[in-house]
Amino acid sequence: MGTRVVLESAEISRALTRISHEIIEANKGVDGLVLVGIPTRGTFLAARIADTISRIEGQRVPVASLDVTMYRDDLAQNPTRTPHPTDMPVSGVDGATVVLVDDVLYSGRTVRAALDALNDHGRPKAVRLAALIDRGHRELPIRADYIGKNLPSAKHERISVRLTEHDGVDEVTISSGEPGADSANGSEVAE
């Protein structure tokens, strides 16, 4: 199979625009909304969604970044994870509607860790989840509220999200790994 591109730059942009509209509609505007990106690429996606919402609504939505490294349940298996700085808005998330943003939703373990980490920053009114790619294979009862693309895949396949801000190009690829190998969720270590 090799590697094939499943989303190009324009398709990623359209998916993020659609997600932005869905967030606005579900929230009935942008009041009390905070976008929280899960590093690395989720942070860039959250910033892009905030920019799109700002163009649509004429109002800036706060964007934060939430490091989940120390909240993961697989640190023993992956002790070399590099922590990312958490950058929360001054007011925190108390009473806000938080939209967690991630690049690839796979097992649900990263999102579970994000929910635990979020608790250290306050008590949101509600927490929603936006993912550019939902590849299935959930191990926990977690689902995305806003999805750019459902991309069913085999466990041995690798989904890679590459973004201009980090990788110099916007694209999502799928590549074949060896069956039985732990190919991860995509751009970074497995979720």
**What's the whole-number mean pLDDT along residues 53-66?**
96
Predicted TM-score of the model (pTM) = 0.88
pLDDT band at 92 (very low <50, low <70, confident <90, very high): confident
- Using CA atoms, how far apart are residues 112 and 181, in angstroms rounded to an integer? 23
From residue 10, alpha-carbon distances to 23, 24, 144, 167 in Å are 20, 21, 22, 16
Q: What are the structural domain ranges in the chain?
A: 9-153
Tens of pLDDT, residue by residue over 98-127, are 999 999 999 999 999 999 999 989 899 999
- Using CA atoms, how far apart are residues 46 and 35, in angstroms rounded to an integer? 6
CATH of domain 9-153: 3.40.50.2020
User: For all residues of the chain together, what is the average pLDDT?
Assistant: 88
Please tell me the predicted confidence (pLDDT) of residue 1. 59
